[in-house]
Structure 1
Amino acid sequence: MKISINRLKKYIALSESPEEIAALLTRSGLEVEGVEEFVSLPGGLEGIVIGEVLTCEKHPDADKLSLTTVDIGTGTPSQIVCGAPNVAKGQKVVVATVGAKLYPTTGDPFEIKKAKIRGQASEGMICAEDEIGLGTSHAGIMILDTDLPNGTPASDYFEVSQDQVLEIGLTPNRADAASHLGVARDLKALLGRPIYLPEEKANSIEKSGLSISVEVQNPSDCPRYSGVVVTDLKVGPSPQWLQNFLRSLDLEPINNIVDITNFILHDLGQPLHAFDADKISEGKIIVRKLPKGTPFVTLDEKERKLSGDELMICDPQGGLCIAGIFGGNHSGVSDDTTSIFLESAYFSPDVIRKGAQFHGLKTDASFRFERGTDPNMPVYALKQAVSLLQDIAGGKVASEIIDLYPNPAQDFVIEVSYGHINRLIGKKIDPSEVKSILESLDIKVENETNDGFTAIVKPYRVDVTREADIIEEVLRIHGFHQVELSENLRTDYLAEHPVKDLNKLQYRMTEMLASQGYFELITNSLTKPVYADKSGFLDPALNVEIFNKLSEDLGVMRQTLLFNGLEVLAHNINRRQTDLKCFEFGTVYQKVAEGYKEGRRLAIFHSGNRSAESWIEPEKPFGFSDLYMTIERILERLNIELGQVSMIESAPFSYGLTLKLGEKVLGSVGLVDEKILKLAEVRQDVWFAELDWDLLTKKASGLKRFQEISKFPEVRRDLSLVIDKAVTYDQVKAVAEKAGGKLLRRIGVFDVYEGDKIDSGKKAYALSFYLQDQENTLTDKVIEKTMSKFIQAFQDQVGAIIRS
């Protein structure tokens, strides 16, 4: 939402800079996302003045050029060479002085410099309208009819508007602030200054033969409906001030009638709609709903089928407008319109929200109506609009204001305790300050006692209906920054342990996988019963069947994420997308004796090549290590140590591993069996892993701890061990970590050998050891002592022979 500082100053005296105002509003809950400068003409015509041609002669060396002297108010006439055919002595003209930057209608900006043109000095330029961005004509220079003194800035003559515009990220609860008046109300409270509302005009009525009657058939959806007839209008362009205001808000002026309704909407927050009165059949407006499927053509010339739930503004022959959302093409204001019926209403937010959602229409009017407008504003806004119509479009008020308001909105009455205010804010606020803040926000304070008071809130504050809302109003004006933190932090509750944010954990994993080239899958929880019947590893008796199934292919809840993922792979492979890395977070379901159980899983798929064929290297298909490496990254990110790993050679895998965390199975990883692939119609190898996401989130220990990078150098030493084939690398690693203690940073394996150069049943590991002390530089003596520990431990604990 954009707010003009110039317009705010019509409501409240502001000496603060736009940046200071932005900081104030942000601190109070109206977050200003940016401050933009608006100039109605590019460059603001800076350096361009009104001048008078004193002399005009032919250029001595060019037939099509004139040599002029021009008074630009400096006391010394300027000599300017001009190529326009219509330049003459005595003219008032527009002059770009030396140093001025011009922004032409077409082409790039350029700067005026002193120059010599055909041997004659030229100190400026006499301008055509296209050269300063005012129009498209280049037939000749602009000749002005004005008595303004020479040297007057051209920006004054052309009424160039300069403004600062606030971009406010309005939260859904602050419907009251969706206007310049609403923002001014907050500044009134923040700055302690009065605001000045435009005087309510008493519009003179000139009766005519045109009258409009109104019937509201849905008073719950339209609690208030107001309108007035205005005749003798002349549709045309709006005055420059109004066009500048709308452009500063990124709105394009249309004509004076429509521009006035947009002005009132953004100024007062009250949407208006103008109907061509001559197009209202039988002179009657009916507020009602039309049957579902009724066609209706909106202002954008699109035919829309009504849902039957949206509120419509109709005449006896049909719809004229989708109430509060979008006007109809037939009844809108055109260049030929001379009489209008001007509508100003209060609609129920629910009905507007539902209609806007159904039709996918988000307009400035629906934005305000669906959040809640001021039910006491329609008539005031109508009078302000009519006054503008009289001044700008020559309109005459042809009827009394119609105002159907059978059940006026009531103020909110809220009981407030000083004790609750102080407890929730976290500091004691003096009751006099509380009262002052609330009254500055137009909230009355009544029935005051030592313990509390009654707050009377006007209905335009749709977000202030409870005691907590009143306290929030006090806090945001008092200032969050003024609530000091105590030395001892406390809380009103005790928790056994910090609650993990499961959504945040999943997002972190999604972010990590996506950064490594994975695509996320989102598939249906329903699947085919045949997968459990024929897969050989799922029990059909555990299927959760759907009673009113849409089809047999969607007849049961899935027990695994495998088949849904394989269907996605098959779809892509059939369309020549064969190199795939995908993952999915999803829920699986099973029938149990007590009913049903479900659990979250993380599935990962690899298929095709991990690198495409190129002249540098041949294509490389995915292998087991690629998928296993991803699992290791996931565990590392969650700070989880993998437990026991065991081989599996049963469905759904040709071969793979079962992974455990302690005694609990984490999941499995491997190459999917060809029978399973055939069942899902996949025609290439697939590597698949399915992990128990519930178990992972339970075991996750949060973010990693980090430490300062050591100032002392790292040292590498290598050893070659000959050990029995039965000894695993994990055993070797455990021995090294115990022997190396805090000096050992990491271990690497850079060679493994099994062959005829060592004894049968043996293997050789070439290991690298990285040593570092966080507090001192390692000496040769310490390094040799540590390596001796390694050698002794390997010989004693795994029977290693150290190769030299």
Structure 2
Amino acid sequence: MKISINRLKKYISLPESPEEIAVLLTRSGLEVEAVEEFVSVRGGLEGVVIGEVLTCEKHPDADKLSLTTVDIGTGTPSHIVCGAPNVVSGQKVVVATVGAKLYPSEGEPFEIKKAKIRGQVSEGMICAEDEIGLGKSHAGIMVLDTDLPNGTPASEYFEVSQDHVLEIGLTPNRADAASHLGVARDLKALLGRSVYLPEENSLISEISGTIVTVEVKNSVDCPRYAGVVMSDLKVGPSPQWLQNFLRSLDLEPINNIVDITNFILHDLGQPLHAFDADKISSGKIIVGKLPKGTPFVTLDGKERKLSGEELMICDPTGGMCIAGIFGGNHSGVSDQTTSIFLESAYFSPDVVRKGSQFHGLKTDASFRFERGTDPNMPVYALKRAVALLEEFAGGKVASEIIDLYPDPVQDSVIGVNYGHVNRLIGKKIAPSEVKSILESLDINVENETKDGFTAIVKPYRVDVTREADIIEEILRIYGFHQVELSENLKTDYLAEHPVKDLNKLQYRMTEMLAGQGYFEMITNSLTKPVYAEKSGFVDSAVNVEIFNKLSEDLGVMRQTLLFNGLEVLAHNINRRQTDLKCFEFGTVYQKTAEGYKEGRRLAIFHSGNRSSESWIEPEKPFGFSDLYATVERILERLNIEVGQVSMNESAPFSYGLTLKLGEKVLGTVGLVDEKILKLAEVRQDVWFVELDWDLLTKKASGLKKFQEISKFPEVRRDLSLVIDKAVTYDQVKSVAEKAGGKLVRKIGVFDVYQGDKIDSGKKAYALSFHLQDQENTLTDKVIEKTMSKLIQAFQEQVGAIIRS
């Protein structure tokens, strides 16, 4: 949104520089993204003056050139060679003096220099309109009809406007500031000055008759509709000041009627629409909706099919305008228009927003209506427009002002507590200052007590509806920069952190697993009691039994997802589907002394071959690393780092691992014991993992941790250790991380050996260590020192023998 400083000064005294104003507005929440200088004519006609041709003779060496002397107010006439066919003595002309930089309508800027043209000195240039960017004509020099003294800057004659324009990144909640008046209101509060508005009563002339009637069929979508008829209008160009104002906002002037409606929109924030009154059938306007699919041609010449939900401005023959969005081609103002019906309304933001989105039309009017305009502004804006149309289009008021407003929008009444004000702002502000700030924002303070007050907010502040909004208004005018930070920073939350969407989290995990070739299973929560009795894995004493069981096979609630999953595998294997990757999200149940408890689990199964037999390579069965890689991907996706990993050779596994987060078991993973497989009648190996999904979702974090990539190279060193079989890799890794410190970036195992070349009860690990410093290049001395620390730690803490 662009705001003209010159126009702001019509509302409020602003001796401050544009940059100072920009800082003030940004602090108050109207972020100024840029301050641009605007000149209505490029270059501002600097160095261009009004002159008078004193003499004019033919050039002795060129038929099409003339030698002139021109008085430019310096006391000494200037000699100028001119090629224009219409130059004669006695003319008032536009002269570009030596050193002036001209910006032509077409082409690049150029500088005027003293020169010799066909042997004659030329001290400037008599200009055509295209040469100074005032038009496109190059038929001859500009001849002026003026009594201004010679030497008068041309910028005065042509009323060149200079301005500064603020580019404001308007947030959606600040609909009230989408105008020059709205910005002036904020400056009024920030600077403690008055805003000047023209008197409303002086804006209407005598009324000569009524020729248009209005019927509003939908007062919910159109709470207020106002309008007036004007006659005897003469469509033509707008005055120069108005054209300059529009151009400063990057708007192209069209004609005086359209330009005045655009001026009111950007000046007061109230969109207006002018209908050609002679094209309104039967002199009647109907505000309502048209059937779905009705064709309507808009001002851009495009035919659009109506949705049936947009509000329309119609006459008895059909639509004339999509209310608050875009006018119709038939009823628009043209060069032949002599009378208009000028509309000024308050439309529901919802109906305008829906219509704008459906048709893909974003206009300056819809921008304001769909955010919420001031319901008290339509008549005032109408009167301001009438005064301008009388002055600059010769119009006369031909009707009473129509104002249909059956259910006026009421002021908001909001209770405010001083304690809440001070708590949310973080600083105690005197009640007198609070009242002063609010009243400067046109928010009345009533029913004051020592604890608080009632705030009365006008309807144009659509964003101020609750106590927190009032407090925000106080703070943005008081100034965020005036709230000091305490030594111990703390915050006070208005609401708790967002609760994790567990369904969305599970869906994302399902997507990931399905993308890796897994099939999802959904099994019954009821299972066989025999599994608990014979597996040695599930405690039958805590089974949740069904009183009215349908059968023994469905007699208890499951305590694990393992057995139901094995039944699914058996069903598939018996039908020659032997290569299986499956997963299930399910609930498990237990009986406790306090009652019953249940928890969510994620189970994953591998069975058969991970790759089928082919001519390239033989079939490869699933192994432990395949399943554990999936577990690592799950933990990585959830940003969870396992705290402890230990061996697990108890039921239901032949061997496996137990994963922990602190003292809590996160899950188990391993090869299912043959005894368990026989219970479910599965006749091939099964790899199984069961994770505590409740614990996973509780610890899951949406925040990823990143660190800067080191500028310095990485170094690898290898060690071969002989250690007891009882020593786990997790222990070795922990020792290495502590001894190596921050220089050890990564540890890997690239070989494991157990055999007759080392003592029984021993195993050999071949380890790789990747060393890197974030701040320096590693030297041989530092590398050797680090490796010595690692060797010493392995020898002392895990009894390792270093193999050379």
- TM-score normalized by the length of structure 2: 0.72
Q: 1:156 to 1:746 in 2, by over 3 A?
A: same
Q: 1:275 to 1:744 in 2, by over 3 A?
A: closer
2:19 corresponds to: 19
Kindly indicate whether the alpha-carbon contact (under 8 Å) linking 1:439 and 1:445 is maintained by their aligned counterparts in 2: yes
1:787 corresponds to: 788
Give the alignment of 1:51-200 within 5 angstroms.
Answer: 51-200=51-200
Kindly indicate whether the alpha-carbon contact (under 8 Å) linking 2:522 and 2:585 is maintained by their aligned counterparts in 1: no
- Cα deviation per residue 1:422-473 (whole Å; 9 max; x = unaligned)? 2332222222222222221122223333333332222222222323322222
2:271 matches 1:271: yes
Cα separation, 2, equivalents of 1:639 and 1:591: 21
Q: 1:195 to 1:748 in 2, by over 3 A?
A: same
- Cα deviation per residue 1:331-388 (whole Å; 9 max; x = unaligned)? 1111111111111111222222222222222211112112221111111111111111
Cα separation, 2, equivalents of 1:273 and 1:294: 22
Cα separation, 2, equivalents of 1:792 and 1:319: 88
What is the CA-CA distance between 1:276 and the residue it aligns to?
0.7
Q: 1:597 to 1:38 in 2, by over 3 A?
A: farther
Kindly indicate whether the alpha-carbon contact (under 8 Å) linking 1:639 and 1:701 is maintained by their aligned counterparts in 2: no
What is the CA-CA distance between 1:227 and the residue it aligns to?
0.8
Cα separation, 1, equivalents of 2:284 and 2:658: 76
Kindly indicate whether the alpha-carbon contact (under 8 Å) linking 2:25 and 2:32 is maintained by their aligned counterparts in 1: yes
Instruction: Name the SS of the counterpart of 2:36 in structure 1.
Output: strand
Q: 1:175 to 1:308 in 2, by over 3 A?
A: same
Give the alignment of 1:390-409 within 5 angstroms.
Answer: 390-409=390-409
Cα separation, 1, equivalents of 2:315 and 2:708: 75
Instruction: Name the SS of the counterpart of 2:35 in structure 1.
Output: strand
Q: 1:387 to 1:705 in 2, by over 3 A?
A: closer
What is the CA-CA distance between 1:157 and the residue it aligns to?
1.2
Cα separation, 2, equivalents of 1:412 and 1:792: 73
Q: 1:307 to 1:716 in 2, by over 3 A?
A: closer
Kindly indicate whether the alpha-carbon contact (under 8 Å) linking 1:750 and 1:768 is maintained by their aligned counterparts in 2: no
Cα separation, 2, equivalents of 1:692 and 1:283: 71
2:204 corresponds to: 203
1:552 corresponds to: none
Instruction: Name the SS of the counterpart of 1:116 in structure 2.
Output: strand
**Residue identity matched to 2:208:** K
Instruction: Name the SS of the counterpart of 1:130 in structure 2.
Output: helix
Kindly indicate whether the alpha-carbon contact (under 8 Å) linking 2:521 and 2:584 is maintained by their aligned counterparts in 1: no
Instruction: Name the SS of the counterpart of 1:381 in structure 2.
Output: helix
2:476 corresponds to: 476
**Residue identity matched to 1:39:** V
Q: 1:296 to 1:84 in 2, by over 3 A?
A: same
Q: 1:773 to 1:453 in 2, by over 3 A?
A: closer
Cα separation, 2, equivalents of 1:258 and 1:455: 39
Q: 1:487 to 1:391 in 2, by over 3 A?
A: same
1:559 corresponds to: none
Q: 1:71 to 1:447 in 2, by over 3 A?
A: same
Q: 1:693 to 1:152 in 2, by over 3 A?
A: farther
**Residue identity matched to 1:466:** R
1:512 corresponds to: none
- Cα deviation per residue 1:389-429 (whole Å; 9 max; x = unaligned)? 11111111111111112222222223333333223322222
Give the alignment of 1:261-300 within 5 angstroms.
Answer: 261-300=261-300
1:737 corresponds to: 736
**Residue identity matched to 1:61:** D
Kindly indicate whether the alpha-carbon contact (under 8 Å) linking 2:645 and 2:730 is maintained by their aligned counterparts in 1: no
Cα separation, 2, equivalents of 1:42 and 1:129: 13
2:257 corresponds to: 257
Cα separation, 2, equivalents of 1:428 and 1:733: 58
2:199 matches 1:217: no
**Residue identity matched to 1:348:** S
What is the CA-CA distance between 1:299 and the residue it aligns to?
1.4
**Residue identity matched to 2:59:** H
Instruction: Name the SS of the counterpart of 1:386 in structure 2.
Output: helix
Give the alignment of 1:327-366 within 5 angstroms.
Answer: 327-366=327-366
Give the alignment of 1:491-640 within 5 angstroms.
Answer: 491=491, 537-539=519-521, 635=636, 638=639, 640=641
Q: 1:522 to 1:85 in 2, by over 3 A?
A: farther
Instruction: Name the SS of the counterpart of 1:50 in structure 2.
Output: strand
What is the CA-CA distance between 1:493 and the residue it aligns to?
7.3
Kindly indicate whether the alpha-carbon contact (under 8 Å) linking 1:205 and 1:400 is maintained by their aligned counterparts in 2: no
Cα separation, 2, equivalents of 1:666 and 1:160: 81
Kindly indicate whether the alpha-carbon contact (under 8 Å) linking 2:509 and 2:634 is maintained by their aligned counterparts in 1: no
Give the count of matched residue pairs: 676
What is the CA-CA distance between 1:290 and the residue it aligns to?
1.6
Kindly indicate whether the alpha-carbon contact (under 8 Å) linking 1:666 and 1:695 is maintained by their aligned counterparts in 2: no
What is the CA-CA distance between 1:701 and the residue it aligns to?
10
Cα separation, 2, equivalents of 1:773 and 1:274: 69
Give the RMSD, CA atoms, in angstroms.
5.0
Cα separation, 2, equivalents of 1:253 and 1:247: 7
Cα separation, 1, equivalents of 2:772 and 2:292: 77
Q: 1:257 to 1:598 in 2, by over 3 A?
A: farther
Q: Which moved more, 1:320-329 or 1:449-458?
A: 449-458
Cα separation, 1, equivalents of 2:74 and 2:174: 53
Q: 1:778 to 1:380 in 2, by over 3 A?
A: closer
For the pair shown, the structure with the greater C-alpha radius of gyration is 2
Kindly indicate whether the alpha-carbon contact (under 8 Å) linking 1:739 and 1:793 is maintained by their aligned counterparts in 2: no
- Cα deviation per residue 1:171-223 (whole Å; 9 max; x = unaligned)? 22222111111111111111111111023234223525x60011111122222
Cα separation, 2, equivalents of 1:447 and 1:367: 37
Cα separation, 1, equivalents of 2:99 and 2:603: 69
Q: 1:93 to 1:637 in 2, by over 3 A?
A: farther
Kindly indicate whether the alpha-carbon contact (under 8 Å) linking 1:86 and 1:141 is maintained by their aligned counterparts in 2: yes
Cα separation, 2, equivalents of 1:733 and 1:321: 78
Instruction: Name the SS of the counterpart of 1:85 in structure 2.
Output: coil
Cα separation, 1, equivalents of 2:793 and 2:600: 53
2:456 matches 1:456: yes
Instruction: Name the SS of the counterpart of 1:11 in structure 2.
Output: coil
- Cα deviation per residue 1:559-598 (whole Å; 9 max; x = unaligned)? xxxxxxxxxxxxxxxxxxxxxxxxxxxxx98576899989
1:561 corresponds to: none
**Residue identity matched to 2:437:** I
Kindly indicate whether the alpha-carbon contact (under 8 Å) linking 1:274 and 1:340 is maintained by their aligned counterparts in 2: yes
Cα separation, 2, equivalents of 1:412 and 1:50: 59
Cα separation, 2, equivalents of 1:149 and 1:709: 73
2:42 corresponds to: 42
Q: 1:746 to 1:56 in 2, by over 3 A?
A: same
1:619 corresponds to: none
Q: Which moved more, 1:477-486 or 1:338-347?
A: 477-486
What is the CA-CA distance between 1:694 and the residue it aligns to?
9.4
Q: 1:385 to 1:733 in 2, by over 3 A?
A: same
Cα separation, 2, equivalents of 1:134 and 1:337: 28
Cα separation, 1, equivalents of 2:291 and 2:727: 77
Q: 1:425 to 1:125 in 2, by over 3 A?
A: same
What is the CA-CA distance between 1:133 and the residue it aligns to?
1.2
Q: 1:230 to 1:716 in 2, by over 3 A?
A: closer
- TM-score normalized by the length of structure 1: 0.72
Q: Which moved more, 1:451-460 or 1:436-445?
A: 451-460
Kindly indicate whether the alpha-carbon contact (under 8 Å) linking 1:51 and 1:72 is maintained by their aligned counterparts in 2: yes
What is the CA-CA distance between 1:542 and the residue it aligns to?
8.0
Give the alignment of 1:767-786 within 5 angstroms.
Answer: 770=771, 783=784
- Cα deviation per residue 1:296-337 (whole Å; 9 max; x = unaligned)? 221122222222222111111111111111111111111111
What is the CA-CA distance between 1:137 and the residue it aligns to?
1.3
Q: 1:398 to 1:642 in 2, by over 3 A?
A: same
- Cα deviation per residue 1:113-157 (whole Å; 9 max; x = unaligned)? 222223333222221111111111112211111111122111111
Kindly indicate whether the alpha-carbon contact (under 8 Å) linking 1:229 and 1:399 is maintained by their aligned counterparts in 2: yes
